[in-house]
Chain A
Amino acid sequence: MNIHEYQAKQMFRDAGVSVLDGLHCRNVGEAIDAYRKLGGGVVAVKSQIHAGGRGKGTLLDPKTREVIMEGGVKIAFSEDEVRDYSDRILGNLLITKQTGGSGKLVTNLYVESGCDIVHEYYLAMLVDRGSNSLLVMASREGGMDIEEVAETNPDSIHRITSSGKSGFNRDSCVDLGSRLGLIGPALEKFTDMVSRLGSLFIESDCSMIEINPLVETSDQDIIALDAKVSFDENASFRHPEWDDLRDYGEEEEIELRAKKTGLSYVKLDGDIGCMVNGAGLAMATMDVIKLYGGEPANFLDVGGGADENQVTTAFSIILEDPNVKGILVNIFGGIMRCDIIAKGVISAVSRLGLERPLVVRLAGTNVEEGKAILSESGLNIHPADSLADGAEKIVKLVKGGA
C-alpha cells in the first residue's frame, strides 16, 4: 500500500526525520493560503500522486488530452505563480514514466518551502530478500533515476544491512554516511536520520522508504526533500490508522474490488480472460496461452480457499473487460475443491450469462465431483483435460469466433 508524499512527510516529521515546512492543499485557495503561511518566498508546488517521475511528467486535460503544462512539480517565486501552477495542476491528468499512458488525476497538492541545496543524494530502505534483512541503499547520485544509476554506475550505490528488530546501529550508519563523502555536522545529521528511519520502518511495517533526493543544504543540514513510503499489506491487521491514509482514488477500482473479495487481479491487454488458483499456476497459464498463440486479458488468482461468491465475483470482473472474447478456467485443487469451483462457475454463468466461449480445466481435490457438476449442468462449457489442452481449446475458440 502506497501513501502520498505529504502523508509520508508528516510521518517523517513525527519521527524526527528532517523535512521542510509544507502544507497539503486540495484547491487553489488552500495553495495560496499555504504560500502565505509558509512566509512567501520560493516554494515548490508538488502534484501528489502515487507514482514517481512527477517532476518530468506532463499534465493533460482529462477530456481533451491537450497538454496543459510540462512538469508536475514547479518552483514558484510569487503568489501569482502559486495560483497559476496549482490551477494548472489540480483536476488534470499527470502522465509520468511510472503512470502509464492513462496517467493519474491530480486532486492533492503539497506546497513546500524552498532550501539552499549543496548536493543531492539517494536513499532507500527496504527488505532484502537475499539476506533476510533490512537494507539501506544510498548513493551520491541523487535526484535521478536510481535504475539508471544501478545500470551505469553500480559502484556508486552503497549498502548497509540490519538483521532484526533493533534497526540500524550507529557505527554502520556512520560508515554509510562516510562512504557517501559526508563529514562533520552533515554526517552527524545523516547518521541520526538513518537510525530514525530504521525505527520508523519497523514500527510502521513499511515495505519501502525511498528519499530521492535527500539533500545536503548550505548550512550542512540533511533534509528529505522527497518521501515515498509503502506499507506491507500483510501487517494491516495491526495498523488501523492506515485506513485514514489510504487514497482509494489512486487504486485501480477493479483491482481494488478484486482485492476486497480476496482475489488478486491484474488487467492485461489480451483477449483471453483467465481464472486460476495460485499465483504460479496463474502465471504459467498466461505463459501457455501465449505459447498457443493467444494473448491473456488478465492475471487472476482466486487464491487458496475461494467460495462460490468469490468465483462469481471473479467471473464478473473478467467479463467487465470488453476485450475478453473467451475465458479459460484452470484450477488445480489443493485447498480449493473442484466441486466448489464448478458450483461457482455455474452460478456465475446463470447470473451473468455466457455469450463467450468458456473452457474449464479441473484437476486435484474432488475433481470427479467437479466435472460431474459441470457436465450435468447442460451449459455450453468446454472441458479440458490438461493445461495445454485447455489453452489450445480456448485459443482456437477465440480465434474461430473472431
Chain B
Amino acid sequence: MTDRPNITATSGATPAGAAPMILSDAPRSQWADAWYQFRHHRGAMAGMFCFFAIILFVTVGPYIWTVDPGALDTRNRFAGPSPAHPMGTMQLGQDVMAQVMFGGRISLAVGLVAMFITLLLGTLIGVLAGFFKSLDGILMRLTDLFLALPVLPLLLVIIMLFREPLSQRFGTEAGIFILMVTVIGLTSWMPVARIVRGDILAIKEREFVLAARSIGTPPPRLILRHILPNVLSPIMVSGTLAVANAIITESALSYLGLGFPSDFPTWGKILIDAVQYTERAPWMVIFPGVLISLTVLSVNYMGDGMRDALDPRIRGR
C-alpha cells in the first residue's frame, strides 16, 4: 500500500544511478561529489571546525599551556578561574585546564576507537543476519545473549582475566587502553546490530534490490553497493550516540577502578569526581561537561553532513 514506483525511479535510490542528476561541465567522481556536498553543508562544516578545534586543544594545547596536570597545590584548592588558572583548580589544587587537555586525549581516543569497533561489529552482524536467512537465527540469539549478560560482573571477569597479560605485553597504559576500547565495543554493538538487521529485512524486499539480484549481482556487491548505503542514517546516529556512550562508560569504569589509574584524568572521570563539588567549585564540572557535549554535538553534525553528502537523492539541493 505504501509505494508503487516504477523501475527507473527506484534505481535512482542507489548511489550508482545518481551521477546524471548533476549537470556539471566535467564529469566528477562520486567521492568528489560527496565532498562538494559535505563542504556546502553548514552544520557539517561547523561540526568539523569545532571537532578540529577540540583536537588541536588537546594535542597542541599542552605544548602552549605547559602546566603539569598532576601538579598539586594544596594552598590553592577550589580556586576560581583566574589568569594563573583559566579554568580554575580542583580539590587538590590541580589545574583544570591542564587536566582537561590531558584527559581529552584519552577520552577522544577511547570514544572514537570504541565507536568504530561498535559500528564495525554491529553493522557486520546486522548485515549478515538481515541478509542471509540461514545466519539470522544464530546471530540474533547471540545478540540476545549479549544483551542479557549483566555488564558489571562481565567486566569484572574480563578485567580480572586480561588486565595483567595485556599490561605486560603492551605496557600499563596501552594495555588498559586496548582493554577499555575492546570491552566497550564488545558490550555495545548489539543495538546497532538489531537496528541494521531490522532495516535490511525491509530493504532487501524492495524492488531495486530484487532488480539488482535478478541481473545476477553477487551478494557482496549487492550488500556494499545497494543495501549498505540505505542503512547509513541509523548507523550514523548509532555512531554519534556510541561516542557519547563510550566516553561515559570509560569514566564509569575508571571510577570503579576497572580502567585507567586515578592519576590518569579523563573528561568523564573529572566530571564524576567533580559532581560532589558542584556547588563549591562549579568550574570543575562545567568545563569537562561542555567539552564532552561539544564533542558529541560536532560528531553528530559531521555524521549528518556525511549522510546527506552520500545520499544521491538530495544532491545538488
A binds B: no
Identify the A interface with B (CB < 8 A). Answer: none
